[in-house]
Structure 1
Amino acid sequence: MVEVAPVSKWQLFRNRNFRLIFISMLFSAPGYYVYLMGAEWLMLSITDNRFYFGMLFFAASVPRLLFIVIGGITADRFSKKIILLLSDGSRAVLVGIVIGLLLMDILQPWHLLVLSALFGVSDAFSYPAAGSLLPEVLKPENLQQGNAMVQMTNMISPILGPAIGGSLIVLGGFSAVFTLAIVMLCAATVSISLLRIISQDEEIAEVKKSPLEDVKAGFHYVKHNPLIRTIMTVSFFINFFLTGPVSLSVALLAKDVFQTNALGLTILEGALGIGSLIAALSLVLLKNLKSPGHTVIFSLIIMSAFFILYGSALHFWSSAAAIFVIGICLQFTNIPISTMLQQTTDRRMIGRVMSIMALASTGLIPVSYMVTSALLGIGISIQVLCITGGILVMITGILCLRNKQLTAFNSYNKVEQQEML
């Protein structure tokens, strides 16, 4: 178990382990986005077939889906610190391979697809480990602020990553972009290596169950928790309707619709990141949301409305403004969902629950990417796909207003229950 320090919401950085996790994320997430920026623009540069661009996302999502439950079991059975070390370290190696292929001038689209798939495998193990680490570091009443601070590092990534990546593409080429990504991922690895881990006998005994028993226990736990089951079901459908168009639209709008250069891509991704950062900062400063379920639902509805505007916008700057609001709504959806899960889940099950959550929320992402790529391939514009996705998400949000599991959730009561355990 990770050493826990008693902290208030204004003293999170006095907790050494939380501070190291925050520093690690401050390098790891932007480092990944620097790489992703380079990989996206490189794929668009070496081939005119936009199907390959869509497959870049699909290739990462399939292994993530296949291995995510194994990643959750691993997080509950083994050291989360070691898992995160291996994850960041392996990503640095993969980026190094891209540099080698570039220097030998033999890089092909399929190379980027294979490397994207390996990134997906790494994600499958790092996501449950990172998601289950924070509840062991912080008290339940600090989780909203802690999640928001960690999300701030993720939201800085679409700002710093594309800004630095786009500038380096112009000034130093793709090799400079990928070299910086390696440096940042190595810095994250060093920070994680400094975490202090304390083992406890009862947790060692817990991991002696067989992997199959662990899987069954995880699904049984989720099955008999109505709130977790509801969140996963909602996330499952939202990701199918929205993820493909969102992920592919930014670069395609910048290059194909508005015909900008890498700077245009930087501005659009930066607008999304700035909006998300503002929302995360707001949740750091706010007290725990009394009704996070209502916050999630109304954020979904507002986000879908602006996604429709984003897809139908005729001018670059109106699309940038719309995606800025989308970024705000994304965090007022994601952070309360993560906090609700962490506040209601037994710590012995947190790795498996986070992995099953990822499975539910990303379960249809490969299909979403494939369908989006196929529709783009037959000539349907990304703007039409964005508008359609926005309408479907809005319907989902409106239907959630009748879901008592979400609307009745009270975070204060859950915190009090956790403190009594």
Structure 2
Amino acid sequence: MIQETSHDAVEVLHKRFYLFKDKNFLSLMFGTWFSTIGDGAYFIILGWYVLNITGSEVALGTTLTAASIPRIIFMLVGGALADRIDRKRILMMSLFIRAVLLILFAFLIVGVHRKPELWLIDWIAVSFGIIDAFFYPASSSIVPSAVPTQVFEKANSLIQTVQQLSTVLGPLLAAGLLLFLDYQMMFVGISMIYLLSTTLLSFLKLRRYVDHVSSLENQIIESPSSMWSEIREGTLFVWSSRILATLMLISLMINLLFMGPINIGIPILIKSFGWSGGTYGLYESGFGLGAVLGGLLVVMMKGFRGKFIWLAGLGAFMGSAMAGIGFVYAPWGGILLMILMGIAIAIVNIPLINYIQTIVPANKLGRTMSVLTLMSMGLVPVSYTVSSFIIEAKWINVRELLLGSGILITLLFCSLYLIRDFRNMEEHPVWKNKYLQNDVESS
């Protein structure tokens, strides 16, 4: 009896720590981790660089819009490619090309005496956005290909949590680099991080999809089926599911009200207080730290299974924190609110990503994730443009922008309780079967 109990304990420990012994999983986790660190540092440094050399809110909005539009347009193509060719190859090529772009930009900064024209910065932002657009659909749909089915959900939660950790380290890296005031060094440093990520992902070996990918590549040669027809199929699939369509539309509105006011408003708010770029980095690090804590809570709460009804309330709390951040005049208070916002967003996002990846068939996952991302992010360029324009035109100030947007976000999340599909989303048969299967395996 004692021997059996000991054996059972060993089995439990083996299952719990299996992923940390899986070199394939570690390659994927750390590769995407460093990639997200680079992304976090890049966007903060780029935004602060534009704001400093131009002093214009509209210029900042223009650059962020230039970076986001190609991302959105090419996201669909990236999703279709993720369903047709090796996702590992897509990730590595995206990272390598972005590294080369940043090295070229660093040399261009020196060539134009550290103050390039805005069109040149926007050109780099557009090119970076195009290449980056192929990364997200592949990275968001590669996890089922990299780990065994029985540990997929835990692997996904761990990767999401580690990526949230990089949203702390990325801004902290940016805050440290901004102290040196050497933008050439900053962009070269970020490019080195992308090259490190590329190297780590080179050790990744896809499991379940290796033969499937090969057959798809043969289909490309033998069949005239168009990539655009696959994109259309992905769009129709999303609209055919009421819960997916609901999540997409709510996400569209939330991103309209969140992305511009936060990404445009926070640096302008910090600059209006006379604080440094390092403080901006600490604000963003606070948000990332909150996201890490939120991710850990999701793991501890077993993905919030059976508790999805809480998610709308947490989203409403995030909107309330956003509404108040413009009226906090001490850096530590603003950082605290950013932490709380990060916690709420992670708790909302991670369970919903797990949910989508569970109920969507594997052969449609790449294009479905890209369609959902495209639709939810479709108004982000509008958000950037409108936010920067109304602040530059002095229609309202940055505090009022954050206040109004936060209140509307709170109301939108509260409205989810009026939608039956949201209240009953955990009744989806695929989700319920996976829930029961996990309960049997854990017992």
TM-score by length of 2: 0.87
Of 150-159 and 371-380, the range deviating more from structure 2: 150-159
Post-superposition offset of 1:312:
2.9
Conserved in 1, the CA contact under 8 Å of 2:90 and 2:138?
yes
Match 2:264 to one of 248, 257, 282: 248
Aligned 1:112-127 pairs, distance under 5 A: 112-127=121-136
Match 1:60 to one of 67, 82, 86: 67
Post-superposition offset of 1:171:
3.2
1:151 equivalent to 2:160? Answer yes
- Residue matched to 2:104: 97
Q: 1:372 to 1:142 in 2, by over 3 A?
A: farther
Conserved in 2, the CA contact under 8 Å of 1:71 and 1:126?
yes
Q: 1:393 to 1:210 in 2, by over 3 A?
A: same
**Partner-residue secondary structure (3-state), 1:293:** coil
Conserved in 1, the CA contact under 8 Å of 2:72 and 2:377?
yes
**Partner-residue secondary structure (3-state), 1:288:** helix
Q: 1:358 to 1:110 in 2, by over 3 A?
A: same
Tell me the C-alpha RMSD between the 2 structures: 2.3
- Residue matched to 2:321: 306
Aligned 1:25-44 pairs, distance under 5 A: 25-44=32-51
Post-superposition offset of 1:35:
2.3
Alpha-carbon distance in 2 for matches of 1:138, 1:417? 20
| Identity percentage of aligned residues | 25
Alpha-carbon distance in 1 for matches of 2:249, 2:308? 14
Of 166-175 and 316-325, the range deviating more from structure 2: 166-175
Alpha-carbon distance in 1 for matches of 2:81, 2:120? 28
1:401 equivalent to 2:408? Answer no
Q: 1:51 to 1:203 in 2, by over 3 A?
A: same
**Partner-residue secondary structure (3-state), 1:171:** coil
1:368 equivalent to 2:383? Answer yes
**Partner-residue secondary structure (3-state), 2:329:** coil
Q: How many residues align?
A: 413
1:199 equivalent to 2:211? Answer yes
Of 63-72 and 349-358, the range deviating more from structure 2: 63-72
Match 2:291 to one of 259, 276, 280: 276
Alpha-carbon distance in 2 for matches of 1:33, 1:407? 34
Post-superposition offset of 1:135:
2.5
Alpha-carbon distance in 2 for matches of 1:216, 1:155? 32
Alpha-carbon distance in 2 for matches of 1:205, 1:405? 40
**Partner-residue secondary structure (3-state), 1:46:** helix
1:71 equivalent to 2:78? Answer yes
Paired AA for residue 142 in structure 2: L
Post-superposition offset of 1:32:
2.0
Of 198-207 and 61-70, the range deviating more from structure 2: 198-207
- Residue matched to 1:137: 146
**Partner-residue secondary structure (3-state), 2:309:** helix
Of 281-290 and 229-238, the range deviating more from structure 2: 281-290
Q: 1:414 to 1:112 in 2, by over 3 A?
A: farther
- Residue matched to 1:260: 275
- Residue matched to 1:386: 402
Q: 1:169 to 1:345 in 2, by over 3 A?
A: same
Structure 1 residues 34-75: Cα deviation after superposition (integer angstroms, max 9, x where no partner): 222322222122111221112221111111121111111111
Of 269-278 and 98-107, the range deviating more from structure 2: 98-107
Conserved in 1, the CA contact under 8 Å of 2:70 and 2:126?
yes
Post-superposition offset of 1:143:
4.4
Of 196-205 and 325-334, the range deviating more from structure 2: 196-205
Alpha-carbon distance in 1 for matches of 2:159, 2:77? 24
Alpha-carbon distance in 1 for matches of 2:78, 2:125? 18
Q: 1:285 to 1:224 in 2, by over 3 A?
A: same
- Residue matched to 2:191: 182
Post-superposition offset of 1:297:
1.0
Alpha-carbon distance in 2 for matches of 1:191, 1:387? 42
TM-score by length of 1: 0.91
Q: 1:216 to 1:164 in 2, by over 3 A?
A: closer
- Residue matched to 1:331: 346
Q: 1:8 to 1:399 in 2, by over 3 A?
A: farther
Alpha-carbon distance in 2 for matches of 1:388, 1:146? 38
Conserved in 2, the CA contact under 8 Å of 1:9 and 1:142?
no
